[in-house]
Amino acid sequence: MLRNLWYKSAIIYQLDVRTFFDSDGNGWGDFQGLIEKLDYISGLGATCIWLKPFNPSPHRDDGYDISDYYAVDPHVGTLGDLADFLEEAASRGLAVITELVVNHTSTEHPWFVEAARSRDSELRDLYIWRDEPPPDGESPERIVFDGDDRSVWTKDDRTGQYYLHRFYPFEPDLDSAHPFLRSEIEKMILYYLKLGSAGFRIDAAPYLAEKASAAPEYDDAHDYLRDLRSFLTERRPDAAFMAEADVEPEKLDDFFGEGDEMNLMLNFLASEYIWLGLAQGSAVPLRELCDVLPRPPHSGQYANFLRNHDELDLEMLDEQDRRLVFETFAPHDDMRIFGRGIRRRAAPMLNGDPRRIRLAHSLLFSMPGTPIIYYGDEIGMGEDLSLWERRPVRLPMQWGPETNGGFSTATGDALYHPPLADGEFGYAEVNVADQRGDPDSLLNWMRHLVTTRKEAHAVGHGEWHVIDTGSDAVLGLHYDNNQEVVIVFHNLSDEASSVTFTPETELAYLYEMFADDQYGHPETEEHQFKINRLGYRWLRGRTA
């Protein structure tokens, strides 16, 4: 049984079963293949798997266009295979977070097929319809994929009305104010809890809450999320909600509530500011981030990532900072998307430079919150910019140098996504098999980083503050959890630095947990700490 706040100490590994490992040669990753690779995930040190949608789907949006909430896509297995996977994961101490994608369905979902059949359909009001869309510039509904010419309203010729879709036209928005839908959402939660899910990532949480607020029993947009959390906790006290809510910093508090809404919040702002700091070679943006991020309640936690399965969204940066990040990490137009995002993987964004890649991941793991590893980042996988929209970063896992990177024995169009075969990030150059036996590989370094973070319990559970290092280049963070103290320094510049730091309380000892170099014993009278260019030092102590 998991402890109620297990997610605060978790190391989350995000993956898509379709692109992880194909056990039967049909070109699609599957649950039996994932079971075969659970020891790899466990060996990396992960404690939780965030699983992308695995339900039946037309796959026009990589599975987020769901056509049946209670079934498994036959390409990846059966309900029995899913249950087998969840049991095998639990036997290794791995929690599994599944997706709750209930802001929209596929147009092929039976609900929409029936709703679109007639204006008199009993399911008509599960979706949002208008006789005419609002005039240009007057629609209150935000276009998620701004930067292109899509409208959020599409006409259905069968009934002559327009339906709302904040994402794609093949993903009509559900109306979460509808009692039938809210009842179905509770059934979905209960269904997957019974199968063994330890929590749910709530897709498009702000839109779900906003629409639900129109129900007469709710006073504001967050009443529904509180109800949903209450339902979850009553059924399984240690289950967690992780919300996708890319909102302004001042609105993040609303999603934590008083500890009665979201357990985890995906930290989009941290991702943007980490990349801005790396672009500037400065810790100043990260200090600003620490100033503006609301402190979550005791039961709340940020879920931090360098980038995930979508575009790296830079919307919260001002125009000048966004331009710098673009010019540094996405200099060509085909690397950018929606006018505000980057469709690249972390390793190629950092030009494959081992020092920068390790600095970026060390930064991620040292930030207040729970770290997320996007599958393949632990070996430095790349992207395929020839693929459509956000798919360049969703390539098959690269297990070895053999055909298809060891992902599948299928060929050609049978493959769910083509593997990256060529270039410095292709599977012949970047793969698990080669890195396993190399003590200096990124994979083995990542295992060390994960172990360090798991030992630094204070980072997930303690109080924290930014250290005044006296250097714009060096970020210092101080964590305190009862008597355990963890101090972490990162030098984001290309020049070595030295900082002076005097702990606020006397320490019984201080030792180096993890660093980019052998710096020697850290305990000196002046508390001076040298840090190499692009260097990092994790130190642990105990109050006297």
Active site (catalytic) residues = 203, 244
How far is 102 from 184, CA to CA, in rounded Å? 10
CA–CA dist 469, 388 (Å, integer):
44
Taken in order 425, 427, 432, 436, the sign of the CA dihedral is negative
55: tokens are 């339900």
Question: Are 148 and 338 within 8 A, CB to CB?
Answer: yes
Strands 301-304 and 341-342, by their bridges, are: unpaired
Residues 6 or more apart in contact with residue 90 via CB below 8 angstroms = 96, 196
Phi, psi of 209 (to 5 degrees): -70, -40
Q: Got the DSSP string for 424-459? A: TTSTTTS-HHHHHT-TTSHHHHHHHHHHHHHH-HHH
Residues 6+ apart with CB under 8 A from 368: 290, 293, 302, 459, 464, 477, 479
Of all helices (H) and strands (E), which one includes residue 194? helix 179-195
Strand-pairing partners, residue 374, are: 14
Give DSSP secondary structure letters for 478-533. Answer: EEEETTEEEEEEEE-SSS-EEEE---SS-EEEEEEEEESS-------SS-EEEE-T
Structure tokens at 445: 């370094």
- Under a CB-based contact definition with an 8 Å cutoff, are residues 389 and 511 in contact? no
Handedness of CA 74, 420, 379, 453 (dihedral sign): negative
The separation between CA 266 and the C-alpha centre of its own chain, rounded to angstroms, equals 6
Query: Virtual CA dihedral for 259, 254, 193, 244, nearest 10 degrees?
Result: -140
Whole-number Å distance between alpha carbons of 543 and 347: 38
| CA angle centred on 176, ends 204 and 271, rounded to 5° | 10
Query: How long a stretch of residues is the chain?
Result: 544
Any idea what DSSP says for residue 197? -
d(CA 210, CA 217): 14
Residue 489 dihedral angles phi and psi, to the nearest 5°: -120, 140
Beta bridge partners of 156: 161
- What are the DSSP calls for 24-38, one per residue? SSSSS--HHHHHHTH
